[in-house]
C-alpha cells in the first residue's frame, strides 16, 4: 500500500510514521505534504498512491479546499484534533477519521477499514448506509458567542472574545476577562462548557480547574515535574499550570 501523508505538524507526522511502521511495516510512505498548495500540486500531478492520511488544518487553510470537486477514487483517513469537521469530511471520500493525539488502536481500526474495502479493481465507494451510520454520531456545533455572568448583584453579557479564561474556585465557575482581569460568576460547570459550548479551536482545559482562551495566551515555559506554566493577558497574576498528563496534547493543540 502506497501512502501519502498530509500533515504540517512535524511531531504528529513522526508519530503517524512510527505507528504505521509498526502496524503495517510493508506499507510504503511516499511523502509528506504540509500545505493546501502542495496538496493541490500533488493531486494535479503524480497520483501514484493508494491511501491518503490527511490532516484537516494545514498551515495555509483547510485540506478540504484542495479536495473539493475532485473525482478521487483513493480512500482518505482524516486526522484532526477537532471533531466538528466530521460532517464535512464525508463529502470528500473520507473512509474514517482519527483524532489527535494519535492512538495506535484507533488508527489500526481505520486502516483495517481501508483493507476491507480495497480490492484489485480499486476503491469501492462508501455505501450510503455506512455514511448514515457515521453521520448519526456527529453533529456540527454552534458555539456560544457570549455568556450571561453575574458580578455582585448585577447581570451582564461577556462576549466570548473578551474571555481570557474560565476557572473554578470554591465551587463556583468564574469568567476572567483579558486585560482588565474583571471576574464574574457564570452558572455553568467546566464540563458543561467543554461539552459543546466553547469552540475547541479557541479554548482548552489545561487542568481540572481552568479553561484558557488561546487568543489571550501570552507565554508558556517549562515548569516542575514535566508541566507547563502559562501566562495570559490579564491583570490577575495567577499561576496557570498545564497538568503533566495534558502537556503533549496541549502542545499539539497550540500548534493548530
Question: Where do the CATH 2.40.50.40 domains begin and end in the chain?
Answer: 146-254
Mean pLDDT to the nearest integer, 40-64: 83
Burial 221-252 (b: 16+ CB within 10 A, else e): eebeeebbebebbbeeeeebbbbeebbeebeb
Q: What is the dihedral of CA 30, 34, 38, 43, to 10 degrees?
A: 50
Mean pLDDT to the nearest integer, 85-90: 50
Among 60, 61, 47, 100, residue whose Cα is nearest residue 77:
100
Which CATH fold topology does 2-135 show?
Rossmann fold (3.40.50)
The C-alpha R_g of the chain, in whole angstroms, comes to 21
Mean pLDDT to the nearest integer, 118-143: 48
Cell numbers given for 215: 487568543
Q: What is the pLDDT of residues 93-114, one digit of tens each?
A: 456 778 888 889 999 988 888 8
Confidence label for 256 from pLDDT (cuts 50, 70 and 90):
low
Task: Judge: domain 146-254, CATH 2.40.50.40.
Answer: yes
Confidence label for 134 from pLDDT (cuts 50, 70 and 90):
very low
Question: Where do the CATH 3.40.50.2300 domains begin and end in the chain?
Answer: 2-135
Is-cis flag, bond preceding 149, omega within 30? no
- Residue 136 above 50 pLDDT? no
Amino acid at each position: 500500500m502506497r501512502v501519502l501523508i498530509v500533515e504540517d505538524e512535524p511531531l504528529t507526522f513522526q508519530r503517524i510514521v512510527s505507528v504505521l511502521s509498526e502496524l503495517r511495516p510493508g506499507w510504503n510512505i511516499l511523502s509528506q505534504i504540509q500545505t493546501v498548495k502542495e496538496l493541490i500540486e500533488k493531486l494535479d500531478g503524480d497520483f501514484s498512491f493508494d491511501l491518503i492520511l490527511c490532516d484537516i488544518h494545514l498551515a495555509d487553510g483547510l485540506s478540504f479546499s484542495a479536495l473539493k470537486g475532485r473525482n478521487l477514487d483513493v480512500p482518505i483517513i482524516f486526522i484532526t484534533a477537532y471533531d466538528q469537521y466530521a460532517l464535512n469530511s464525508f463529502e470528500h471520500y473520507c473512509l474514517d477519521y482519527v483524532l489527535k493525539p494519535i492512538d495506535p488502536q484507533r488508527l489500526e481500526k481505520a486502516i483495517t477499514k481501508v483493507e476491507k474495502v480495497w480490492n484489485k479493481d480499486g476503491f469501492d465507494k462508501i455505501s450510503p448506509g455506512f455514511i448514515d451510520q457515521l453521520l448519526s454520531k456527529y453533529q456540527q456545533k454552534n458555539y456560544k458567542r457570549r455568556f450571561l455572568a453575574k458580578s455582585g448583584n448585577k447581570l451582564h453579557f461577556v462576549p466570548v472574545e473578551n474571555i481570557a479564561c474560565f476557572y473554578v474556585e470554591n465551587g463556583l465557575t468564574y469568567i476572567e476577562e483579558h486585560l482588565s482581569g474583571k471576574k464574574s460568576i457564570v452558572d455553568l460547570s467546566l464540563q458543561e462548557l467543554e461539552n459543546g459550548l466553547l469552540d475547541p479551536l479557541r479554548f482548552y482545559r489545561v487542568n481540572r480547574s481552568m479553561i484558557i482562551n488561546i487568543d489571550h495566551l501570552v507565554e508558556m515555559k517549562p515548569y516542575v515535574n514535566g508541566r507547563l506554566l502559562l501566562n495570559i493577558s490579564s491583570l490577575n497574576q495567577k499561576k496557570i499550570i498545564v497538568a503533566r498528563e495534558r502537556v503533549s496534547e496541549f502542545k499539539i493543540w497550540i500548534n493548530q
